Amino acid sequence: DTGVSQNPRHKITKRGQNVTFRCDPISEHNRLYWYRQTLGQGPEFLTYFQNEAQLEKSRLLSDRFSAERPKGSFSTLEIQRTEQGDSAMYLCASSLGNFVSTDTQYFGPGTRLTVL
Amino acid sequence: SQQGEEDPQALSIQEGENATMNCSYKTSINNLQWYRQNSGRGLVHLILIRSNEREKHSGRLRVTLDTSKKSSSLLITASRAADTASYFCATDGRKLIFGQGTELSVKP
């Protein structure tokens, strides 16, 4: 399977704990994106990387959230001191990142986070 | 904030009928994309239409784009039960901005 993969698929944690999610993009894709989706809503942009550089962060990404893409390949999204409001599906996507007019993002299956 | 707004929010049809979903957006775009999401799963890219295109076809899908009205429509012809999903439009750029989606239910 050469699609975007995310691990874990499900995570249940207690409030106050730290969690880390991993995303492996499609190989040779330069751009990697993180989105958050809550029930009944469309995905909301969190941040994106061009290779290893984090180029944009949403205001949704509070200080408790940090994302890395150290070697320009896989990425991790860490949430510190989780809150119940962090419960959501966290989606990762990747794209070639060449031409804006045709740059298609391909999504992974998501990590569903439940904070108790 | 969400740029795209899909209409209707929910649509229920019989298998074999056509389904039309609309999307309106607020600012100028380079392209508009439609995605499908089955319950609780990731998004699947369906089709991308560039701002200089007016219509595009892919299998049973037909997408139109009217940049003067800042709107797009997705038509699914001869629907199947497997088309049951949520459909989102998303506008372009480095980050996709999604609407709330149209929940399509196709009854066998």
Answer yes or no: are the C-beta atoms of B107 and B80 closer than 8 Å: no
- Where residue A35 falls among pLDDT bands split at 50, 70, 90? very high
Average pLDDT of the segment spanning B16-36: 91
Question: What distance in Å separates residue B90's CA from the closest CA in chain A?
Answer: 9
Is any Cβ of chain A less than 8 angstroms from the Cβ of B94? Answer: yes
Per the listing, tokens 């009217």 go with B66
Average pLDDT of the segment spanning A7-28: 96
| Contact at CB, B50 and A101, closer than 8 angstroms | yes
Using CA atoms, how far residue A84 sits from A92, A114, B41, in Å, is 21, 8, 21
Question: Tokens for B70?
Answer: 């800042």
| Residue B80 or residue A28, greater confidence | B80
- B70-98 burial code (b ≥16 CB/10 A, e <16): bbbbbebeebeeebbbbbbbbbbbbbbbb
Percentage, residues of chain B above pLDDT 90: 70
Answer yes or no: are the C-beta atoms of B35 and B88 closer than 8 Å: yes
Question: What distance in Å separates residue B2's CA from the closest CA in chain A?
Answer: 8
Residue A81 backbone class (left: φ over 0; alpha: ψ -120 to 50; beta: rest): left
User: Which of A95, A103, A18 minimizes the C-alpha distance to B30?
Assistant: A103
Per the listing, tokens 């993002």 go with A105
Kindly state the DSSP code that residue A102 receives in the 8-state scheme.
Answer: G
User: Which of B91, B92, B87 minimizes the C-alpha distance to B75?
Assistant: B87
| Contact at CB, A89 and B43, closer than 8 angstroms | no
The whole-number pLDDT of residue B1 equals 45
| Contact at CB, B31 and A110, closer than 8 angstroms | no
d(CA B67, CA A98): 23
Whether residue B12 has pLDDT greater than 70: yes
The whole-number pLDDT of residue B30 equals 85
Whether residue A1 has pLDDT greater than 60: no
Average pLDDT, chain A: 92
- Where residue A14 falls among pLDDT bands split at 50, 70, 90? very high
Cβ neighbours of A45 in B, within 8 Å: 95-97
Percentage, residues of chain B above pLDDT 70: 94
The whole-number pLDDT of residue B47 equals 94
Question: What distance in Å separates residue B16's CA from the closest CA in chain A?
Answer: 27
Is any Cβ of chain B less than 8 angstroms from the Cβ of A100? Answer: yes
Q: What is the pLDDT of residues A59-109, one digit of tens each?
A: 888 899 999 999 889 999 999 999 999 999 999 999 988 766 678 889 999
d(CA A104, CA A109): 16
Is any Cβ of chain B less than 8 angstroms from the Cβ of A44? Answer: yes
Whether residue B93 has pLDDT greater than 80: no
Q: What is the pLDDT of residues B52-66, one digit of tens each?
A: 999 999 999 999 999
**In sequence order, what are the residues at sequence separation of 6 or more whose Cβ sits closer than 8 angstroms to the Cβ of residue B58?**
B46, B47
